Chains A and B, each alone.
Chain A
Amino acid sequence: MNRFMSLEEIKHLIKEEILINRLELEDVIENEIDDDENLYNEEGLALDSVEALDIVDGISNVFKLDVEAVMNSGEENNFQTVNEIANYIYKMGNRDAD
């Protein structure tokens, strides 16, 4: 079975494809999104609950993984940073790739 993706590749896709392109974060470039910054903080990207749900759809599109059950329970969000999302995808992806 093929290797899934490296953690760095996953982070790049989350930032570029899901956050910047999908959510249309104008004037934000990939380097500006810190791996450990809280995506929902007012000082950061200040994403809202609707955008959080859209990230789940984005992950499903880009990585072909269903993270809905883990990432969202109702209106609560279990992952707050790019690192947390990427680590989970990395684990899930590699588990499926085995």
Chain B
Amino acid sequence: MTAVITKMAVTSSLGENEDEIHERIMKFNSGISTIDYFDTDEFMSSIAGNLNHETWEKVRKIAIDENVDNSSALTIYTVNKLLKNTRFNYQNVGLSLGTCNGGIQSMSDYFDDIDAGQSGKDNLKNYPLYKQMFDLSNYFGFEGPRFSFNSACAASSAAIAYASQMIESGKAKTVIAGGSDPMSKWVYAGFNALKTFNTQNATPYGNDYGLNLGEAATFFIIKDKEEALRDGDDILCEILGYGFSNDAHHPTAPDAEGNGISFAIREAIKSSGLESDQIFYINSHGTGTKANDVAELKGIEQVFGKNVPLISSLKGYMGHNLGAAASTELALTLIGLKNNVLYCNFPFQDYREETRNKKIFREHIDLSNQKTRDIIFINNNAAFGGHNSAVIFKTNLDNKYNTENSYKAIDEKSVYINYISESTTNELKNVNERIKLNPEKPLKEFDKLLYQRRMNQLSQVSIIAGISVFKDQTIPTRNGLIFGTPLGSMNATTKYSDSIRKDGFGKASGIYFPDLVVNSTSGRISRALNLKGYSASISSGGNEDFKSMEIAFEALKSNRADVILSGSGIESNSVTEKILGHPVKTDVVMIEMVNEFKPDTSILKVNEVRSYQVNATTRKIVKKTVDNATKQDKTKVLLIAPNKINNFISSKNVDFILEDGTGVQGIKALLDSIAKKWDRVLILELSINNELTVLDVNSLKNY
């Protein structure tokens, strides 16, 4: 199946109306303005791409009325516009969301409450990044599967790409995908500490470097092309393919040669079945910083050689919208194409020396007389944590779409599990062995070379768990990592917030800021284990291990990687314990998944990993899955669920485990089940938020 985008809604500093946005870009009238809603005296810059006051008041009203964070409110506000004049059954709608900082304002408010001697509990519950997908589905009644990507500045790109995967695999009929990030003083302070700002309107590729932050939310309706044609939808573009990668290089700086970027673009082109010379345009990440623009161009040149496609960055018009950057930039490109225009870079005096290339164009391009009416373009994004994402789209300028090439011939592969591990700070556990660790400095004693200063506990333990399962390194570049974590390293988050609370926003800690983004752990694991292939970081609020496995399973099945480490982890921290309501120890699970059977090492075959949203009242899907499975011979069924569901499962054949919100219980149960030598194991992991992922595996011991 081919996924298409049928509708979009934008809330940005350039405005909300497509005609207004088009007019402003044509006149180079940027959305960058002075910040007047927090004090910027302590910062090197005072400007950003700000939403106008009227819009912001409407967003705030939703936040107050619904008791949700501003980020969720901005998402709800934007999706409300998206759903106008649409008619479809919300029950079947899946979500694929991206955010960089999610409810960070609520976290900031929580610390204000604490400092004022209050509990702050109401604010704290709105912090977690996964909360956005629950707030959104609660508000509108969406009942399809949900995913929340937190790969920082590439998050909404990952979300859009994965939405196409959900359509192609048939797991959702309609997906709402995109990203949302309102401005946050905490985040502004972090970029200030890293000295990345331009004090004037940013000019990517220009000789005056530095970036402007921005705030935005942009969402799309994505569905199967045949269905869209049948329903008579307007089609804005087809999603032809995508590629994910990780730089495995540095928490904030890109690989200077652009190796991660070129890898993602190459994978995207390969998955589209295209040749590189068919790419007409690249909507680049182009932040305007010294490090990004040069490295990104080098990465692009690695793929296209001297014949690079047309390139422009749209960040000069509205700032860097972080988790909403990719989705908003895509929307702008689509608005341009609706008007037969490719938008150029924001005007600059002269090229930066290293990016002096005419293909980085400086005047809007009129496509009215363009002979080739199919415009194939790449949306390219990169992020802290080293995550890169490139997605390829095709827009027909005459709105001509047909069912031709609707079905991609994908050689579906089988997926196997070779190794499973669990690690705490005290002990590493594999299928066959247990290794004691030094809880004071686990990684430093386990593998000194992989330890880096100030490395948080979650990253240390994750790397240990990762090393113990990563044993198939035959084709080093197509090794990937999918990592889930409900909250990331809360110890790093706390250290960063302490620096602000102690010394003020102007002295925010630049060395702890990089770990404020939840995907930083994933980046650190990728770097330690040199995992440069398919890469994503997610949160889901209690079943991160299986959700990550599902993404890895789909990627391996469709041959987007050869080896994927998939895992999840949680870090011991008092704020985490407050959110989950019970003591938490640092705990990480990791498995190695492959798509070639290895007689000596493959221990399980994965039949399916699939997420559902469970109806809180009927819990039909849980009951149905359990009933079906318990009828089968030699199948062990394990149910991980909140206490309240226990009584409704009557069968003696089902083992019950109390769900605790850590997101690591599914793989722990899988690891324990190996010793029992079942032929087939079915594990249902249901979170308190009615998020269910079912894992179905067969033992290979008889092969």
Contact = CB atoms under 8 A, between A and B. Distances in A.
B445 to A, nearest CB: 12
A53 B510 contact: yes
Contact of A50 (B194, B209, B210, B444): B194
B274 interface: no
B541 to A, nearest CB: 31
Interface stretch (B14-22, B79-87, B100-108, B247-255): B247-255
B397 to A, nearest CB: 41
B193 A26 contact: no
A48 B250 contact: yes
A60 B444 CA distance: 32
Interface string A57-76: 10011000000000010110
Contact of B511 (A50, A60, A72, A75): A50
Interface in B413-460: 444, 453-454
A23 B453 CA distance: 8
A49 interface: yes
B193 A72 contact: no
A74 B209 contact: yes
A9 interface: no
Interface in A30-53: 48-51, 53
Nearest to B454: A24
A54 interface: yes
Contacts, number: 42
Contacts of B444: 26
A24 B499 CA distance: 14
Nearest to B511: A54
Interface in B505-522: 507, 509-511, 514
Contact of B290 (A48, A51, A53, A74): A74
Contacts of A92: none
B125 interface: no
B598 to A, nearest CB: 37
Contacts of B209: 74
Nearest to A24: B454
B24 interface: no
Nearest to B252: A50
B580 interface: no
Contacts of A5: none
B211 to A, nearest CB: 12
Interface of B: 193-195, 209-210, 250-253, 290-291, 444, 453-454, 503, 507, 509-511, 514
Interface of A: 23-26, 48-51, 53-54, 57, 60-61, 72, 74-75
20 contacts: A23-B511, A24-B453, A49-B253, A50-B194, A50-B511, A53-B193, A53-B194, A54-B193, A54-B510, A54-B511, A57-B193, A57-B507, A57-B509, A57-B510, A61-B503, A61-B507, A72-B195, A74-B195, A75-B290, A75-B291
